Amino acid sequence: MTNLLTPTKETASANSTLGAALDRIDGPKKVTGAATYAYEHAVEHVTYAFPVQSTIAKGRIAAIDARAALALPGVLAVLSHENAPRLVATDGAEMAIFQSDAVAYHGQFVAAVVAETIETARQAAQLVTVHYEQQPHEAVLRAESADLYKPDHVNPFYETDTESGDIETALAQAAVTLDQTYTTPAEHNNPLEPHTTLAVWSDDGAHLTLYDANQGAYRIRDTVAQAFGLAPEQVRVISPYIGGAFGSKARVHPQVVLAVMAAQMVRRPAKVALTRQQMFSVAGYRTPTIQRIRLAAGADGKLTAIAHDVIEQTATIQEFAEQTALATRMMYAAPNRRTTHRLARLDMPVPAFMRAPGECPGMFALESAMDEMALACGLDPIEFRLRNEPQLDPETGRPFSTRGLVACLQEGARRFGWQQRDPRPGLRRDGRWLVGTGVAASTYPARRRPSSARVRVESDGRYTVAIAAADLGTGAWTALTQIAADALDVPLARVHLEIGDTALPAAQIAGGSMGTTSWGAAIVEAAQALRKRLHEEYHDIVPAAGLEATAETGDNPAAQQFAMHAYGAQFAEVRVNRDTGEVRVPRLLGVFAVGRIINAKTARSQLLGGMTMGLSMALHEESVLDPQFGDYVTHDFASYHIATNADVGAVEVAWIDEDDRHVSPMGAKGIGEIGIVGTAAAIANAVYHATGIRVRDLPITLDKLLPMLS
């Protein structure tokens, strides 16, 4: 029988695959079509709901004429505020659809058709006539707005403003100063799988089953239960396979509520799948930002002051306060510090989480400013960062659990060939192409949250590991199986994983780069508890099937003792065409310090994907607003540009050896988001090095370069 004693730190599991570059366990099912996504679950007598969206940005519904829609064969019902079920309570007005005649943003659900087929529902939705009483709206984020306000906190629970020392005096007395404003546009999450929900009520209406594309089944369950006045145990959410999310599936959006209402109304299962165009209205987006960065340094290049003041938007119906200046609080040493956040309430859809919310736009501004400040101080950008490396977390005064930024910068410089770089801009040319290189640092919090897991012995000698985790395409199916096999000290083939279902033990959502650390910690604890029982109760006798152990982890106590973060350094080479302003990125390098790597193949995929998304942010992504209608007009991939194969050159991913047991018992940190952080700044810094043109307003498009190219 396999040794069931828990291995010590010094004794690695004989069956350990941690760190190996294993293929995805779920890969064969996905490529053969056997993996069932939310829209694909087969139920009998299913119906289809399709929304009618507001064509104004603010006002009220004066009248709805649904007669033509109801006359269409196959139409079962038309929902609106006139007949929709009343919601008991919601955690935000965004999901309170059909509860009043008020219109708060362009694209809001104002009605919906339920029909026998999706084609009929979509056709009938076009026949619903809605008359409005329109009111003046405001949709433009302006730094000079008189209505900016200070929120109580920024996401998820951080202080809105922080300040220590005397910023103004430090700026006035500094040898070198910088005062610049950087802006980022609204950007929309665009996962491959659209937001989809299938709602099935029991015959007696006492229980509800949702097949839903989400990042956390328990969060969706609890939110829906509250809204419809149900006990949590009356709602089951099933979501084993998710086709991407990037933060957009972390919370309940209107399509979930619509599916539940439609099924309740017609007393049959109901499906809702947002179109790509609808996702630009009701599935969240990254808020645009206006960021003022002020830096002060002495003649020795050491920072004496850092100030980061952020303006961003929220909606009138629900607040969302992105934590944009969060990373600035801990990234570099300076005795005088300040960060602030101010919001503008606009008649717009509610912003939401998008990959690395806060750190992604915030570090574009900070790392661009650090590049500018290094030049002003006459220092190499890497040397400038090294001189301002803190020994303790500047925000809390706590020691870092690990801090690999210096190692990432140094290893990246070696791999990239940074030592041969001439710092002067605009010198390297290849025909009509200007060539430059840039660097930026990246960081993301290393968090762990409470989760539960169960491990059970099966009659065939396998172990079933159950946890309501979510695999968004990030590799959780594989990584969690590896963690379980390592903790149980059994071959990978003897572990059967079950995830994505509220019938399983509760788990933290897949978000904030804390899925693997949170779920893995619970799995390790449950596995150790089972092994202890096996040793004490069964010794060398094969145990009876059904023996199990459950673990429920609490908050990580080390979070109160250490500052815990992941770090990275991104390097970019760009080529800018002197005649057209076209920007190409033939080479990207990212070196990361992200704790122990669980699976080298899926880890590389995550980091490479994040960097590619950062390239897309730097050069392409922008949700273009039409102020007259209060609507983003980039509603598809023809107008909302994202990076494609032709835009991406060689991307190299590397990591340094790191093992942080303060963050998780596996020594791992989250890796889902840090890849995007810093990449856009590295590219913008490289564009400056190539051209001498500093672009502080993303994305870096032709019109921002051509007027100044000679």
Task: Find the CATH number of the domain harbouring 438.
Answer: 3.30.365.10
Q: What is the DSSP letter of 23?
A: P
Residue 418 within any structural domain of the chain:
yes
- Residue-wise pLDDT tens digits, 289-323: 999 999 999 999 999 999 999 999 999 999 999 99
pLDDT for res 513: 95
3-class secondary structure, 105:
coil
pLDDT of residue 596: 97
**Per-residue pLDDT, 14:** 77
Q: Pick the closest to residue 49 from 101, 82, 84 (CA basis).
A: 84
Phi, psi of 549 (to 5 degrees): -145, 145
CB-side neighbour CA atoms (13 Å) of 324? 31
Pair 590, 702 in one domain: yes
Same domain, 572 and 698: yes
Task: Give the closest residue to 48 by CA, choosing from 80, 86, 77.
Answer: 77
| 266 three-class SS | helix
Q: Of 9-23, 100-114, 353-367, 388-402, which gets the smallest average pLDDT? A: 9-23
In this predicted structure, what is the pLDDT of residue 389? 98
Q: For strand 631-632 and strand 648-655, is the pairing parallel, antiparallel, or unpaired?
A: unpaired
Query: Where is 246: in which H helix or E strand?
Result: none
Q: Which residue type is seen at 677? A: V
pLDDT score of 11 more than 70: no
CA dihedral 342, 346, 351, 357 (to 10 degrees): -20
Strand partners, 548: 456
Q: What is the pLDDT of residue 441?
A: 98
Looking only at the bridges linking them, the beta strands covering 548-552 and 625-626 are unpaired
Q: 114 and 66: one domain?
A: yes
| Beta strand residue intervals within 202-248, DSSP E | 208-212, 235-238
**Is residue 523 predicted with pLDDT exceeding 60?**
yes
Last residue of a domain, one of 555, 582, 601: 555
Quick one: pLDDT band at residue 540, thresholds 50, 70, 90?
Answer: low
Mean pLDDT taken over the chain: 95
Catalytic residues: 673
Q: How many helices (DSSP H) and strands (DSSP E) are in the chain?
A: 14, 26
Tokens of 677: 């952080």
| Bridge partners, 289 (sequence order) | 184, 312
Please give the pLDDT value at position 15: 81
Q: Do residues 405 and 264 both lie within one domain? A: no
Residue 385 falls inside a structural domain: no
Q: Which residues does residue 584 pair with via DSSP β-bridges, in sequence order?
A: 575
Identify the pLDDT of residue 620. 97
Q: Going by DSSP bridges, is the β-strand pair 303-315/336-346 parallel, antiparallel, or unpaired?
A: parallel
User: So what's the pLDDT on residue 537?
Assistant: 78
433: in domain? yes
List the one residue out of 95, 73, 487 whose CA is nearest residue 479: 487
Considering the domain architecture, whether residues 582 and 519 belong to the same structural domain is answered as no
* Span of 239-243, 471-475, 538-542 with lowest mean pLDDT: 538-542
* Residue 224 within a domain: yes
Q: Is 693 helix (H, G, I), strand (E, B) or coil?
A: coil
Q: What is the structure's pLDDT at 541?
A: 58
Residues β-bridged to residue 343 = 149, 312
Helix, strand, coil percentages in the chain from 3-state DSSP, rounded to 5: 25, 25, 45
Percent of the chain with pLDDT over 90: 95
Same domain, 436 and 465: no
Q: Is the same domain home to 438 and 458?
A: no
- Domain's final residue, options 555, 576, 610: 555
What's the half-sphere exposure (Cβ side, CA atoms, 13 Å) at 12?
7
Q: Are residues 489 and 572 in the same domain?
A: no
How many domains does the chain fold into?
Answer: 3
Provide Rg for the chain, Cα atoms. Answer: 26
List the Cα angle 599/600/601 in 5-degree steps.
Answer: 95
Task: Kindly tell me if the per-residue pLDDT of 6 is higher than 90.
Answer: no
Helix or strand (DSSP H, E) at 59: strand 59-65
β-sheet with 102-103: strand ranges across:
102-103, 59-65, 129-134
Shared domain for 452 and 592, answered yes or no, is no
Which pLDDT score is estimated for 10?
A: 39
Domain that holds residue 572: 390-447+557-710
CA distance 437 to 704: 19
pLDDT digits (tens, 9 = 90+) for 324-366: 999 999 999 999 999 999 999 999 999 999 999 999 999 999 9
User: Could you tell me the CA-to-CA distances from 325 to 109, 133, 332 in Å, in that order?
Assistant: 33, 39, 13
Look at residue 3 and tell me whether its pLDDT is greater than 50.
Answer: no
Please check whether residue 76 lies inside any domain of the structure: yes
Q: Does residue 423 sit within a domain?
A: yes
The predicted model gives 27-55 an average pLDDT of 96
Same domain flag for 196 and 62: yes
- State mean pLDDT over 217-234: 97
Per residue in 634-683, pLDDT (tens digit) is 999 999 999 999 999 999 999 999 999 999 999 999 999 999 999 999 99
Pairing of strands 463-466, 452-457: antiparallel
Residue 325 lies in a domain: no
Residue 633 DSSP SS3: coil
- Across the range 58-63, mean pLDDT stands at 98
Residue 242 lies in a domain: yes
- Show which of 239, 257, 282 is a domain's final residue: 282
CB 686 within 8 Å of CB 573: yes
Q: What is d(CA 196, CA 388) in angstroms, rounded to the nearest whole number?
A: 47
Q: Closest Cα partner for 215 from 504, 514, 498? A: 514
Q: Are residues 619 and 545 in the same domain?
A: no
Q: Give the tens place of pLDDT for each residue, 552-574.
A: 999 999 999 999 999 999 999 99
541, 575: one domain: no
Indicate the SS3 state at residue 309: strand
d(CA 619, CA 686) in angstroms, rounded, equals 12
Residues 86, 99 contacting (CB under 8 angstroms): yes
Task: Give the amino acid at 557.
Answer: P
Q: What is the pLDDT confidence band of residue 539, given thresholds at 50, 70 and 90?
A: low
Taking residues 611-631, what's their average pLDDT?
A: 97
